[in-house]
Structure formats: structure tokens, C-alpha cells
Amino acid sequence: MSSQEKTLLRVILTEGDIRKVSLAKKPDSVDNLVLALKESLGLNYNFSLQYEDLDFGNALCNLTDISELQDRATLKIIPNELDDNASTADTEILSTSSQERKKQWPKEFEIPSFTVDVEYRLQQGNLTYLKDNTYLKLTKELKHEILEKLAETIFSFKAYPTNDDYAQVAAALVNKHPCLLESGSSTGWGGWKNSLKFKMGNYRSKMRNLGYPDVTVNGRKRGTNNPEGIPSRKHIKKPKKCEINFLPNFPEGHNDDSLESVRKKMQDEMKMRTPSSSLLAQQMDLTFALRRKEIVETTPAVSDVLERWPALFREAQICLEFNRITGKNLKQEFYENLDRHSPRFMDLFKAKRGTPGRYLANFFNQVKLQSAQPTEVRTLVIRGLPIMLGDDDSSFFKSCLVSDQRNSILDVPVGILFEDTELQPPNSLHLTSTIGIILEGQVVMEKMQDLPQAMCLLFGLIYALDLNYPKSLANTFDFIQRVLMSMGQNSLKPKLQSLANQLFV
């Protein structure tokens, strides 16, 4: 059968759900068939396929070779086992939006299982290697299947892996299957790393053709087929802060118009005296993909986002949006890690000398540590972090009297505002101040309970609005992300690495 011929299939999802699927052309591999079925049937989980084999009286057999697929064949979907680590809460939050990614890049990359044939050949290769140190002789087909499966697994975490990510996967591959070690490589996996980079480029092209937004957004760059496009390295839109759902797919059955209609209803709901929290949560979840498309592709002003998506600036929705984007519980992880490291931070602050030590000592004088409340200790840690990391917080932490017109914040892109009824001394912790969050020169959230709450929600808003970290506190926010929130720990800057080493001593 020609690869260009139309293929008609009978697909068994469950005993009560059997569908007819028509493909414009026959896929050239089993993996591509799986991708085509995911697209046609709107499936957002991984699965393998079985087919009715005529040689065995139509008994079901695993489909491992695309040549076995005939026109008008009957296939059965076999869902892969669910990840035991996936929480029910995450599933409930993300299910409506049909998210593909639910986990951060793992600390230790687990090599996936390959097809039965590939696993058998690797097993035999490993036995031979253990016996006489003979490396497996790779065929082009075998290497293709290994790389294709690895690319699919990598893409389930991120579309644009870093150089360290590729190295981690390549090292994990030869560690699990030593028969794949490269005799001419100093590491034993350098060639696999390079091959993975090329394979991921091809895999992204495949996903781009299937319409995946996080790679489609970069698909209109200048090239042979698009000489009028923008330069390939200009305005590349990639996750910058370990976002796992940077540009998600639209929910099944929805498009821009249908989601815009939901957005308008939500906007009207926010005009009510007491908006329905449950309704807002449902509608915000449904419109997540539309919101990300607007924010990532058009980079609107914060004031425009505030007008179109007012619910996004509610505390509950900031936390849910952070979970949708990163798969993490914002408040729980922020506060737990802050509290867990606070005793060590106190020791490091007290041991600091010179001008930074004097600033920190001034903060200690404002808090009685023996009887300090958790909020006071958290506040001290948040104010001390920039000092330890060499950041200048003078343009980030702003203070004014309640009677002032807030003119002092008009040029503040990202910051925290302390409002007091009377003038506070320099370097005050502002433990009794009214606190607000500043974005692009305006206060977008007011009357925060304390500084830790404001910093936590500001961190979430930076993700929700796809903002850059404030330059004056870049080290501090990077430390919060990478060390405290454990999101992208690789390749820390020297200052961050130094403090992290002291923290975990």
C-alpha cells in the first residue's frame, strides 16, 4: 500500500466505544500512527496498539511493525499505566484543559520502555556486553526507534530541552543499556547526545505539523520555504522559568470564538458583588489555553490583562494558574521551603560581616527571634535574601504614606509597596504596613496580609503574566525558583551556587 493512500481503521477505545477513523495517508511508523490517532480521537494519554492478526484467526497481537497495518484493519487502544506520582488534585485541575504535561523535568531521567522487539535486542546486547565487553552493532532502524521513543518522552516534559537535559538523557540511556556505550567517546554517550538534538528538531517539526502551539509559535521563522519570515533567532518563544505548559493546546471542541465567549461571561461574573468562586475556577480552567496564547504571543500590558482577565488577580486563581503552568502547588511549596530553611538562613545572616552584615543586624533588631511568629521569620528571610545575593532592593521595595498619591511607584516595573500611616525608619521590615503588589507602575493587588504572602503571589503573577524577573532582584527570584521551589536547579550562577552550598551544608 502506498504511504499516500487513504487508510480506514476501526478503533476500539473501550467495549462500548468503537470508532471509525479515516487517515489521509498511511503513517510510516507505529509511533506516527499513535500520534495520528491521538489527534483524530482527541486522546491526551499515552497508549500502545493491538491489531487483529488474520494469521491467528483475528486474535489480538501487539502492533510493532507498521507493515502489519492493513486498510480497514481493527485496532485496540491499550492505555499505558498511569503515573503513580500524578496527584488527583493535579488531574482535577488540569483535566478540562487537556494538558499534555503535568510534571517538571525529573532529577533523574528514567529511560522509557521501547517496543518488544527493541527491548529484546537491547537485553541480548546487554548480556553480551556483560559477558565479553562487546558493544551492540546498531542498525539504522534500531537507532531510529530508540531516538524516536526518547524524543517522545522528552517532549512530554519540554519541547526545548537544554544542553544539560540532552546530556542527562544520553547518560541515562547508556547507564541502563551499557551495550550502547560508544567506544570512541570520552563520556561514552557524546554521539547519543548529538543524535538526540537532531531527533528533537525533527520531532518538533512533526509536532508543529500536528498543530502543537508551543512549537507552532516558532514555526513562521525565515527559511528556505519561508524567505519572508522573521529571522530564526528573533523573538523565539520558549519557556524561560521551567514552565511545563507554556503554550497549551485548546480544549477539545473549543476554538478562539467559543473560549472568548466564556471569557466574556467570566468578565461579567467579576462585576457581581460576590462572584462565584467555583464558577470562576471552572471558567478560568477552560480558558487557560486562550489566556496563555494572548499573554505569550501578544505580550499585552498588565493593565489590559487586568481588564480582560480580572479573575486572574485573585489569590486563589493565581495559585491555580501557577499549578496549570508549572504543575506545582505555589503556596504550599513556597511556605514549606521557606520555613524549612529559615533556621539555617538565620545562622547565615548572623555570620555575615561588613556592610551586608550591618543591614542584616538592623533587621534582627526589629524581631525578637525567641518569640517571633512564623510571619516575622519569613519576612526577615525575604528581606535578607537580596542582601546575601548582592541584589539592590531599593527600587523593588517601595514605601509611602497612606495619604500620598503613590507617585513614587510610576516607574516601578515589578515591586512591593508598603503603605504606612506614619513615616518608617530606613530599612524597616514594615511588619505592620499595608502591602500591595506593583506591576508596570500600578498596584494590581492591595491589602496583602504580610510580605511573605505578597512575595508568594507576586512570584505566581510573574508566571501567570509571563513577565521577566525584576532586574534589581534577579538573583533573589532566580534563587527562589531554582533552590527554594526546585525548578531548574542546573547551572546555578556562582552567587546562587555559593549560597545554596551554604544552605545545604
Same domain? For 365 and 481 the reply is yes
pLDDT band at 423 (very low <50, low <70, confident <90, very high): confident
Q: Are 500 and 494 in contact (CB under 8 A)?
A: no
Q: Are 380 and 363 in contact (CB under 8 A)?
A: yes
Q: How far apart (Å, rounded) are the C-alpha atoms in residues 124 and 166?
A: 26
pLDDT(244) > 80: yes
pLDDT(298) > 90: yes
Would you state the pLDDT for residue 221? 65
425 or 98, which is more confident? 425
Which residue carries 473549543 as its cell?
254
CA 139, 143, 149, 152 torsion-angle sign: negative
pLDDT band at 262 (very low <50, low <70, confident <90, very high): very high
Q: Are 409 and 438 in contact (CB under 8 A)?
A: yes
Q: How far apart (Å, rounded) are the C-alpha atoms in residues 107 and 112?
A: 15
Same domain? For 335 and 456 the reply is yes
- Give the number of other Cβ atoms within 10 Å of residue 456's Cβ: 25
**Mean of pLDDT values over 389-417:** 89
Report in angstroms the alpha-carbon separations of 249 from 217, 246, 430, 438.
12, 10, 43, 31
Q: How far apart (Å, rounded) are the C-alpha atoms in residues 394 and 471?
A: 12
Would you state the pLDDT for residue 372? 85
pLDDT(370) > 60: yes
Closest-CA residue to 338 (of 461, 459, 470): 459
Same domain? For 388 and 434 the reply is yes
Same domain? For 358 and 405 the reply is yes
Query: Does residue 97 lie in a domain region?
Result: no
Same domain? For 341 and 490 the reply is yes
Instruction: Name residue 462's amino acid.
Output: I
Domain interval for residue 486 = 330-503
Report in angstroms the alpha-carbon separations of 325 from 264, 275, 301.
22, 24, 20
Query: Which CATH number do you get for residue 48?
Result: 3.10.20.90
- Give the number of other Cβ atoms within 10 Å of residue 55's Cβ: 8
**Mean of pLDDT values over 226-249:** 81
Whole-structure pTM value: 0.76
Would you state the pLDDT for residue 425? 85
Would you state the pLDDT for residue 95? 36
Query: Does residue 251 lie in a domain region?
Result: no
Domain boundary among 197, 216, 235: 216
Same domain? For 212 and 134 the reply is yes
pLDDT(42) > 80: no
DSSP-assigned letter for residue 239:
-
Query: Does residue 233 lie in a domain region?
Result: no
**Mean of pLDDT values over 244-271:** 94
**Mean of pLDDT values over 206-229:** 78
Pairing assessment for the beta strands 442-448 and 414-420 based on DSSP bridges: unpaired
Same domain? For 157 and 278 the reply is no
Q: Are 164 and 216 in contact (CB under 8 A)?
A: no
pLDDT(24) > 90: no
**Mean of pLDDT values over 463-484:** 96
State pLDDT tens for residues 131-167.
999 999 999 999 999 999 999 999 999 999 999 999 9
**Which range (74-88, 99-113, 182-196) has the least confidence?**
74-88
State pLDDT tens for residues 43-84.
767 788 888 888 877 888 888 888 888 888 898 888 764 333
Query: Does residue 1 lie in a domain region?
Result: no
20 or 343, which is more confident? 343
Would you state the pLDDT for residue 92? 35
Would you state the pLDDT for residue 30? 86
Average pLDDT, the chain: 88
Same domain? For 335 and 322 the reply is no
Would you state the pLDDT for residue 421? 85
**Mean of pLDDT values over 375-403:** 94
- In 139-212, which residue ranges form alpha helices assigned H by DSSP? 140-157, 163-176, 190-209
Query: Does residue 204 lie in a domain region?
Result: yes
Same domain? For 338 and 404 the reply is yes
Would you state the pLDDT for residue 233? 61
The total number of structural domains that make up the chain: 4
Query: Does residue 275 lie in a domain region?
Result: yes
pLDDT band at 387 (very low <50, low <70, confident <90, very high): very high
pLDDT band at 488 (very low <50, low <70, confident <90, very high): confident
Query: Does residue 436 lie in a domain region?
Result: yes
Give percent of the chain above pLDDT 90. 64
**Mean of pLDDT values over 101-124:** 91
Would you state the pLDDT for residue 14? 72
Would you state the pLDDT for residue 306? 97
Q: Element (H or E) spanning 18, and its range?
A: strand 17-23
Same domain? For 473 and 397 the reply is yes
pLDDT(428) > 60: yes
Query: Does residue 248 lie in a domain region?
Result: no
Q: Are 436 and 419 in contact (CB under 8 A)?
A: yes
**Mean of pLDDT values over 13-34:** 81
CA 76, 78, 79, 80 torsion-angle sign: negative
Same domain? For 263 and 309 the reply is yes
Same domain? For 135 and 188 the reply is yes
Domain boundary among 326, 353, 379: 326
Would you state the pLDDT for residue 19? 84
State pLDDT tens for residues 464-474.
999 999 999 99
Domain boundary among 164, 192, 216: 216
pLDDT(94) > 70: no
**Mean of pLDDT values over 469-485:** 96
